[in-house]
Structure 1
Amino acid sequence: MSKISTSIMAVGIAAAAFTFAMPAAQADSWPSRPIRMVVGFGAGGGTDIIARLVAQPLSEVLGQPVVVENKPGAGGTIGADTVAKAAKDGYSIFMMNNGHAVSASLYKSLPYQSAKDFAPVSLVATMPLIITANKDLPVADLKALVARAKAEPNKLRFASVGVGSTQHFVGAVFATMAGVQIRHVPYRGTPAAIAATRSGEVELLVEVASPLIGQIKGGELKALAVSSAERYEVLPNVPTVAEAGIKGFDISTWYGLAFPAGTPVDIVNKMNAAINRAVTTDSARKQILDASFIPASNTPSQFAAHLDSEITRWGKVMQEAGVQQQ
C-alpha cells in the first residue's frame, strides 16, 4: 500500500473516531445552556401548570434554566411536532400528556409518529378525573347513579371538554363498563362544561381534578367517584369507580417529558436522574400536591412502555366509543 493511501486511511480512521466520540463529548458537557420545555397548550392549563412546577426545581438540579415555551394548537400536536423536529441535542424537551396518546388515533394524519419520533424520559405527575354531578341530582353515590341510568337509558347526560378528549373517553369507558347508556354532550372548554353542570343543563361532568376541587369543596358540584385505582389524596373521602363495583377501572391523566428520538442515551439518562431528584424534593412535592397533581417518576424504558400501551389503549377506546377520526 502506498504512503498516500496509508495517510488517507489514517485520516479517515481519525475522522470516524472523532465522529463517534462527539455524542459522548456532547453528553459530558450537557447542559451548558438553557433548555426549552415545550408545552402544546396555552398558559394556565393543566399541562402548562405542571410544566412550570417541574421546570423550577429541574433548573436548580441541572444548573441551567429550564424555560417553558407554549406552542398551543391542534390538540397539542403543534408543540409535539416542534420537538419531534428539533435538534437531538438535549435542549428541547416536550411535556406530553395522555392527549398525545389519544392523538395517535384521533387524527388521520400527523406530521410525526407519536412513539417513534420521541425519546421518553420520565413521567412527572398524574391526576385522576372525577365523575361529578349537579348538586341537586338525587343520587348519593356512583352505585345510585348506575341504578338510575339503567332505569332511564339515555336520559342522563355527561359533559366533557370535547369529542375525543380524555374526559369524553373516560365517560364512555365508564358507561360501557357499567352497562349503562349516558349521552355525551361536548363543550368548548372546562368553564363551559362546569357551568352547564352547575346549571342543570346536563346532570354529570367528567373532568380532571384540579379545576373541580373548589367547586366540590364549596358544594357547587357533587363528587361521585375518582377514576384512579386508588383514592385521591386531595379528596380522600371520595371513593374510586372500582370501589363502586366497577372492577378494574383505572384511568388517570398523566404528564411526562420526552426528547426528540435520537437524543444521546447519556443525555436521556442524565435528564431522567435530574427529574427523579427534582420531583421528589420536599418543596417540589408539596407544590405539585398543592396544585392537585400527584408527583411521579419512572425510567425511560418504563415511560416508553407506558406510552406504547396508552396509544394502543386509547385507539381501542376510540373505536368502541364510535369516535370518528379528524
Structure 2
Amino acid sequence: MPSRRAVLAAASLAALPARAQAPWAPDGPVRLIQGFAPGGTTDIVARLLAPSLAAALGQPVVVENRPGAGGTLAAEALARARPDGRTMMMLNNAFAVTAATFRRLPYDPLAEVVPVSQVATMPLVFLTPPTGPLTSVAALVEAAKARPGALNLGTVGVGSTQHFVAEAFQAMAGVKLTHVPYRGTPAAVLALRQGEVQLVVETVAAVLGQIRAGEARAIALSTAQRFPGLPEVPTMREAGLAEFDLATWFTLAFPAGIPPAAVARVQAETARALADPDLAARMREMGLTPVGSDAATASSVIRRDIQRWRDLVVAAGIPQQEQ
C-alpha cells in the first residue's frame, strides 16, 4: 500500500501545470524547392522568405531550383520527399494550371501535397499598345466584338497562367481573340509595340518597368483591388466584369504525411515573417501583396483554382498536354 508521503507527492505533481512541449523544429537543413529558373518571381519570393524561416526554425533553409515541365518536376520531388519537415516547396499558380492541363501527372496534386500558407499574391495586368485606340477595356471589347478573332492576344505560352487568365477574360467579356504564344515577356511586349498583337496579359512584376517607361499601356488589373504601384489602373471589376478576380499566388507546401505540428509551426513563422515591415515593403516594391494565410485557406484556394481551370479547359477547348 503506498505511503502517505507518496500519495501527497503524487497529488502535488498532479496539481502542477503540464510542462509545455517544445515547438516542432526540423532536425537538419531544410530544402525549399521551386520549379522555375533563378531570378523569376517564384524564386525571388522563396529567397525573400528563406532567411526569416531559417532564423525562426534554427536550421539553414536552402532554396533549390528544379525548373522544367511547368513546375511538375519540382512538385514530383516534393511529393516523393520524406515528410520530416526538411523539404518544402514554393508553389505558384502553375501548380493548379498543370493539374488542369496535363493529362497525367506523376503525383496527386490534392492528396500528396499539403499547403501550409499562402505567402503572397500578385495581380496580372492587361496591356494594349502604347498608342492607338485601345485605351480601355470597353474599347478593347468593342473592337473585339466588331471583328471576332481579328485581334491577337500575346502570352508567354499555351497553358500558362497568363493564357488561362486571358481565356477567362474572353469568356466573361463574350469576345474571341487569337492567341499567339511567345517565348518570354520581352518578346510579347515587343510584339505589342510592333502591332503584331493588340493585347498582352502578364504579371505586374514582369512588366512594371515597361509600363512606367511608356512601352505599353495598362488598361486593367486582374484582381479585385487596385495595385498601389499603379494607382491609376482600374480593376476588371471596375471596368465592368463584376465577377473578375484572378491573382497569381505563391504558397508554401510540405509533402503529405507531414506532422500537423510542423504545418502549424511553419505557418505561424511564415505569418510572423510577413508581418515584418521591411520584408513586406520589399515584396510590395515587386508588386506582391504579403498574405501569410492559414493552411486551410491556402488549400481551399488551390482546390478552387484547379477546378476553375479544369472547367476552363473544357469550355475553351484547350488541349491537354503530356508531361
TM-score normalised to structure 2 length: 0.90
Matching residue within 256, 263, 272 for 1:261 = 256
Summarize deviations over 1:14-68 as a string: whole Å, max 9, x none: xxxxxxxxxxx9x855133221100111101111111111112222222322110
Root-mean-square deviation (CA, aligned residues, Å) is 1.5
CA shift for structure 1 position 137: 2.8
Superposed displacement of residue 250, structure 1? 0.5
Residue 219 of structure 2 is aligned to residue 224 of structure 1: yes
Contact kept? 2:117, 2:293, Cα under 8 Å: yes
Identity of counterpart residues, as a percentage? 46
Would you say 1:312 and 2:310 are equivalent positions?
Answer: no
> What's the CA shift for 1:291?
1.7
Distance in 1 (alpha carbons) for counterparts of 2:53 and 2:186: 31
* Partner residue in 1 for 2:205: 210
* Native 8 Å contact 1:61 1:277 kept in 2: no
Query: Which one of 186, 190, 196 corresponds to residue 181 of structure 2?
Result: 186
Counterpart for residue 3 of structure 1: none
Give 2:17's aligned residue: none
| Residues 1-326 of structure 1: pairs in structure 2 closer than 5 A | 28=23, 30-326=25-321
How far apart are 1:174 and its partner, in Å?
0.6
| Contact kept in structure 2, 1:142 and 1:244, CA below 8 Å | yes
Find the counterpart in structure 1 of residue 4 from structure 2: none
Partner secondary structure for residue 97 of structure 2: helix
- Unaligned runs of 5+ residues in structure 1 are 1-24
Counterparts of 1:188 and 1:165 in 2: how far apart (Å)?
11
Q: What residue identity is the alignment partner of 2:253?
A: A
Task: Give 1:57's aligned amino acid.
Answer: S
C-alpha change, 1:175 and 1:29, in structure 2 (3 Å) is closer
- Distance, in Å, in 1 between the alignment partners of 2:256 and 2:27 is 20
Letter in 2 for 1:74: A
Tell me the secondary structure at the aligned position of residue 190 of structure 2.
helix
8 Å contact kept, 2:24–2:262: no
Q: Would you say the 8 A contact 1:162–1:187 is kept in 2? A: yes
d(CA) in 1 for partners of 2:164 and 2:100?
Answer: 13
Q: Give the counterpart letter for 2:168 in structure 1.
A: V
Measured in 2, the distance between the counterparts of 1:321 and 1:44 equals 32
Contact (CA 8 Å) 1:194, 1:205: kept in 2 or not?
Answer: yes
Identify, as 1 or 2, the structure richer in helix: 1
State the number of aligned residues: 302
Deviations 1:130-153 (A, max 9, x none): 000111231221111111111122
Which consecutive unaligned segments of at least 5 residues does structure 2 have?
Answer: 1-20
Shift of 1:162: 0.7
Distance 1:28 1:246, change over 3 A: closer
SS in structure 2 of the partner of residue 243 of structure 1: coil
Contact 1:124-1:256 within 8 A present in 2 as well: yes
One-letter amino acid of the structure 2 residue matched with residue 191 of structure 1: P
Judge conservation of contact 1:134–1:204 (CA < 8 Å) in 2. yes
Q: Give the structure 1 partner of residue 14 of structure 2.
A: none
